[in-house]
């Protein structure tokens, strides 16, 4: 039995389940954002859930793919509403709500601990899903990969000094950035250029921000790593001004995507990094500059891969389904 930990709107999960069905592999899908699954019992050697009247012990599964957080208070049939916390601590409803969420988080961590301790064949994981971008850059450098020059700045004068001495900078989030999709709106974080004109709009002090020296690039690379193999895509983002800083920031015309073969030396260094991070899978972003240097940007353990798989006919959902 294969365990899929995901959300109900994740297309990659749907694709993998299609292939699991094709290979006649049984599976359990647990979505973190619906009421389809209810946790019945937890002990140190079993996690019993119920779906449509049937009960399953998750710890008896043969393999697991962690895609997204699948457990919360909702998994026990509880929704933390204002109505259940407003009378706990007089005048401070938010404190009681935070306390319940903290309790729920400890329990969630324990569930993932049990899963990762008891199911040996795992791809992705709760504890490895949220990596520190700054630490990973330092590790990448240690394994011989070129990285960009980074600045952490919270002062406009310092920002202007860096632009004067380095040329244009780019800025990106420390974490995963904003990804808020609703029926009424959609908000995303992009990598953005910061030049002298943009810097002048900043207040004298601002929240500490990650800035990097802008690299004159030939093209971008999205590399999906899966169990020791690399599936690389080259993105010709420099053909269009709107995608020259961030290839995701396109209009109707998509930049061209093609399969790409990384040099063996770069793959060897990336593999050492992924082993050090205990990652069997992940999406790696790189660029190649005008001088032909390969520059590592970041790795996302739960990054999107279906789009690039479709563009390059990699059939990554099939490859993962085979491994599970």
- The predicted model scores a pTM of 0.87
Sequence-separated (6 or more) residues with CB below 8 Å from residue 69: 5, 32, 108, 126
How far does Cα 254 stand from its chain's mean position? Answer: 22
DSSP 102-164: HHHHHHHHHHHHHHHHH--EEES-TTTSS--HHHHHHHHHHTT-EE--EEEEEEHHHHHHHHH
pLDDT recorded at residue 82: 65
- For the packed helices 316-323 and 11-22, what is the interaxial angle rounded to 10 degrees? 60
pLDDT recorded at residue 33: 82
The counts of H helices and E strands in the chain are 8, 19
Helix (H) or strand (E) holding 210: strand 205-213
C-alpha span between 159 and 204 (Å, rounded): 10
The dihedral sign for the CA sequence 13, 133, 260, 273: negative
How far does Cα 115 stand from its chain's mean position? Answer: 20
pLDDT in tens, the chain (324 residues): 999 999 988 899 999 999 999 999 999 999 988 888 899 999 999 999 999 999 999 999 999 999 988 887 778 777 766 666 666 777 777 777 788 888 888 999 999 999 999 999 999 999 998 889 999 999 999 999 999 999 999 999 999 999 999 999 999 988 877 777 777 888 888 888 999 999 999 999 999 999 999 998 899 999 999 999 999 999 998 877 778 788 777 777 788 899 999 999 999 999 999 999 999 999 999 999 999 999 999 999 988 899 999 999 999 999 999 999
Sequence-separated (6 or more) residues with CB below 8 Å from residue 252: none
C-alpha span between 157 and 205 (Å, rounded): 9
Sequence-separated (6 or more) residues with CB below 8 Å from residue 98: none
pLDDT recorded at residue 65: 96
């Amino acid at each position: 039995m294969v365990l899929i930990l995901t959300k109900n709107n994740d297309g990659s999960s749907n694709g993998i389940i299609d292939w699991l069905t094709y290979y006649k592999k049984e599976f359990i899908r647990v979505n973190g954002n619906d009421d389809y699954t209810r946790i019945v019992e937890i002990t140190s050697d079993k996690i019993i859930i119920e779906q449509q009247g049937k009960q399953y012990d998750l710890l008896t599964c043969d393999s697991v793919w962690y895609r997204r957080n699948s457990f919360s208070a909702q998994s026990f049939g509880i929704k933390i509403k204002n109505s259940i916390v407003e009378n706990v601590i007089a005048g401070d409803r938010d404190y009681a709500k935070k306390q319940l969420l903290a309790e729920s988080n400890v329990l969630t961590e324990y569930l993932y601990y049990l899963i990762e301790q008891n199911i040996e064949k795992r791809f992705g994981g709760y504890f490895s899903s949220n990596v520190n971008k700054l630490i990973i850059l330092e590790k990448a450098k240690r394994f011989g990969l070129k990285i960009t020059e980074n600045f952490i700045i919270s002062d406009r004068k310092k920002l202007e000094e860096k632009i004067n001495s380095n040329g244009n900078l780019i800025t990106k989030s420390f974490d995963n950035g904003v990804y808020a999709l609703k029926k009424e709106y959609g908000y995303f974080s992009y990598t953005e250029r910061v030049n002298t004109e943009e810097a002048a709009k900043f207040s004298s002090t601002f929240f500490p921000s990650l800035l990097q020296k802008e690299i004159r690039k030939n093209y971008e690379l999205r590399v999906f790593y899966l169990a020791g193999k690399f599936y690389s895509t080259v993105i010709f983002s420099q053909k269009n001004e709107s995608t020259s800083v961030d290839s995701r920031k396109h209009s109707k015309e998509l930049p061209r995507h093609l399969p790409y073969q990384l040099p063996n030396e770069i793959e060897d260094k990336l593999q050492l990094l992924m082993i050090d991070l205990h990652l069997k899978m992940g999406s790696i972003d790189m660029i190649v500059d005008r001088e032909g240097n390969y520059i590592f940007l970041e790795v996302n353990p739960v990054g999107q891969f279906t789009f690039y798989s479709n563009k390059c006919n990699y059939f990554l959902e099939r490859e993962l389904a085979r491994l599970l």
